[in-house]
Structure 1
Amino acid sequence: MRHLQTATLLAATLSTGLMAGLFAAFAYAVMPGLARSSDHTLVDAMQGINKAILNPVFMLPFMGAIPLVGLAVVLAWRGHSRPALPWLIAALVLYVVALAVTSGVNVPLNDQLAQAGDPDRINELGVVRAQFEAKWVTWNVVRALLHTAAFACLTWALIVHGTHQPQDRPGGDAVRQAPAGTAYQAGSSLTAPPPREAQRH
């Protein structure tokens, strides 16, 4: 059970970290770079990115993180990692909220940009850009922060899981029972009483 918990936590942390890094890269590199470009370049680039990103390499960690974190919550609840449970629940909530932002704001904006058509044939590229860029950038920062917070919670949960060990049975193997009829015990300096013949003298 503990090995399954560890593997699930690692997979969930890795998936969430990949998403946090992706959206953060858009926030501090991709979109600031495109902001300096022309209307045609931004619209054309984002249309291309939105098509290219719909592939298994992206979809597997993006959609797979939620069931992985959910399984980690269940295993922690039933296993030996209860101290990590609050951090796992927090990560799950943060990821679900981030997914809601993506599906509720960023994806509709992507679809809106795709419906605008070929940039070479759009008459008012400035209007198309204005309707897309500012809102998309703002909510991308929000989801990047949410994914990063979820990643931090999972990282801490993994640390807690690794440092928390199941409690041993009372006594464990530290003290062993002495054979019946003897007075010797492990770690004791007591010796058996002298024979009765010696006591008579």
Structure 2
Amino acid sequence: MRTARAATLVLATVLAGLTAGLFAGFAYSVMPGLRRSSDTAFVEVMQNINVVIVNPLFMTLFMGGLVAGLAAVVTNWRSDDPAVRYWAIAGFVCYVVMFGITSGANVPLNDKLAAAGDPAQIADLAAVRAQFEGPWVAWNIARAIVNVGALGGFALALLRFRRTADRAA
């Protein structure tokens, strides 16, 4: 059981880190780079990113974070150190909040941008961009911050788990 408890914490930590890195990377490089682009380039690139990101690897990592986080909470529920459980719960709650932001804010904005159609056929690209860019960037920053919280929660649970294991050895 100790191996399963450790494995779920490691997996939850890694998956939270990967998704936090993705969203943070958008916040500090992709979106600032696109901010410098024309309306046509911005809309076209974001539409393309929103299509290609829904791939098996991303979905496995993104959804796997939920599963691994829940597994980390369940397997560590009766930890010798209650702090392991509390930090795992904190990490999982943060991951769920990030998932909610993504599902409730970013994805609907992505869908609305896709529904605008071919950038070459959009009459007012500046308006389409303005309705998308500001809110999407703000929600992306929020989910990146919360996802870093998930990473921190799982990492602290893992550190406490390790200390408890060292004391038991």
> Is the shorter-chain TM-score for this pair beyond 0.5, marking a shared fold?
yes
Alignment partner, residue 85 of structure 2: 85
The offset of 1:69, in angstroms, is: 1.2
Q: Deviations over 1:41-96 (max 9, x none)?
A: 00000000000000011001111111211111111113445331111111111111
1:153 partner SS: helix
- Extract unaligned runs of 5+ from structure 1: 169-201
SS at match of 1:78: coil
- Counterpart position of 1:63: 63
Measured against aligned partners, the alpha-carbon deviations of 1:168-192 in whole angstroms (never above 9, x if no partner) come to: 6xxxxxxxxxxxxxxxxxxxxxxxx
**Structure 1 Cα separation of the partners of residues 78 and 84 of structure 2:** 12
Conserved 8 A contact 1:94-1:150: yes
Instruction: Give the corresponding residue for 1:172.
Output: none
Partner of 1:154: 154
- Gaps of at least 5 residues in structure 2 are none
Distance 1:120 1:7 in 2: 49
Q: List, as ranges, runs of 4+ consecutive aligned residues in structure 1 with deviation greater than 2 Å.
A: 78-83, 165-168
Asked if the contact 2:70/2:92 (under 8 Å) is kept, the reply is yes
Matched, 1:13 2:8: no
Q: Is the 8 A contact 1:80 1:166 kept in 2?
A: no
CA–CA distance in 2 between the matches of 1:74 and 1:8?
9
Distance 1:166 1:121 in 2: 63
Q: Secondary structure at the match of 1:164?
A: helix
In structure 2, how many angstroms separate the alpha carbons of the residues matched to 1:33 and 1:55? 23
Q: Which has the higher contact order (CA 8 A, sep 6+)?
A: 2
User: 1:2 touches 1:79 (CA, 8 Å); kept in 2?
Assistant: no
Percent identical pairs in the alignment equals 49
Matched letter for residue 77 of structure 1: W
After TM superposition, give the deviation of residue 166 of structure 1 in Å.
Answer: 8.1
Contact kept in structure 2, 1:80 and 1:165, CA below 8 Å:
no
Matched letter for residue 116 of structure 1 = A
* Deviation of the 1:165 alpha carbon: 2.8
Q: Deviations over 1:17-40 (max 9, x none)?
A: 100000000000000010011000
> Aligned runs of 1:115-154 on 2, under 5 Å?
115-154=115-154
Structure 1 Cα separation of the partners of residues 115 and 76 of structure 2: 45
Other structure's SS at 2:76 match: helix
The match for 2:75 is 75
TM-score (norm 1): 0.80
**Following the alignment from structure 2 to structure 1, what is the Cα–Cα distance between the partners of residues 134 and 87?**
33
Paired with 1:91 and 1:51, the residues of 2 have a C-alpha distance of 29
| Segment of structure 1 superposing worse, 11-20 or 70-79 | 70-79
